Amino acid sequence: MFLALKMERPLFLEGEAGVGKTELAKVLAVALGRRLVRLQCYEGLDVNAAAYEWNYPRQMIEIRLAEAGASGDRHVDRARLGQDIFAARFLLRRPLLEAISPEDGVPPVLLIDELDRADEPFEAYLLEVLSEYQHTIPELGPIKASAPPVVVITSNRTREIHDAIKRRCLYQWIGYPDAERELAIVQRKCPHASESMAREIVAFTQRLRGLDLFKSPGVAETIDWADALVALDRVTLDPQTIADTAGVLLKYQDDVGALTPDVVAQLVAPAFPEQGRAQ
């Protein structure tokens, strides 16, 4: 992240869902005191939704007003009118243009979230933005950032992103944190959980990721599970509580079904190996 800020290069983050890629951009915006501009990618995303769109109703009103004003001599300068209606004031700014040319003049943090969900051709729209920090509008020409935004791109790797995108970015894989780091995250995000309970939760989740699951729980699910157990006033883990709340931690029925009593008994153990050896 330091290099991305220093070199003014986009940061491309890959990793499993729920490990904190999106959270990194959110926290960065808070830390820098900048606005977060988020482009949530999805199948069918195009330039109109991602960069800009013309305000057609306002353009039509402008045309009607020009025609009404010229009704006396029945003459409208169509060439001039064509230029006037494609002025910047008729632009509807979408996330990419909003990040390049912010109205307040302060470069925001631009989060391009889950790029792998967008169609491959959409990646071509991003090349100019990522390399030049500008976007070309045919009617107006290129709009270039006076100061580049901080760009964070995330991908859950449901498909490969083209090398042309990656070449323009600094790359980082975000994996599952180790037990101590995950414990620190849970304690910060769920301060109402006791330390002993937080340790049990993290130890169970860490061991659970070692099973052959369709989707291992991410840090986001660990935090949700801690919140759920606090809401249920649980002070320790037991097989019944785990069975009742498995849907908070796991999102597929086959994974929930894999938590048989025998498996749960093996996973519920001393919070950390150090404690087990001490005992």
Tell me what the pLDDT averaged over the chain comes to.
88
What share of the chain in percent tops pLDDT 90? Answer: 70
What phi and psi values does residue 6 have, to the nearest 5 degrees?
A: -70, -40
- For the entire predicted model, the pTM comes to 0.83
> Are the beta carbons of 12 and 165 closer than 8 angstroms?
yes
Residue 73: CA count within 13 A, CB half-sphere? 5
pLDDT at 51 over 80: yes
pLDDT at 84 over 90: no
Report pLDDT digits (tens) over 97-137: 999 999 888 999 999 999 999 999 999 989 999 999 998 88
CB atoms within 10 A of CB 211: 13
As a whole number of angstroms, the distance between CA 120 and CA 186 comes to 36
DSSP element (H, E) containing 184: helix 179-189
SS3 25: helix
Domain 2-51+94-173 classification at class level: alpha beta
pLDDT of residue 58: 77
pLDDT of residue 276: 42
- Domain ranges across the chain: 2-51+94-173, 179-278
pLDDT of residue 73: 52
pLDDT band, residue 275 (cuts 50/70/90)? very low
For residue 119, give both structure tokens: 């169609």
Report pLDDT digits (tens) over 137-173: 888 888 999 999 999 999 999 999 999 999 999 999 9
Mean pLDDT of 19-27: 95
What phi and psi values does residue 122 have, to the nearest 5 degrees?
A: -65, -30
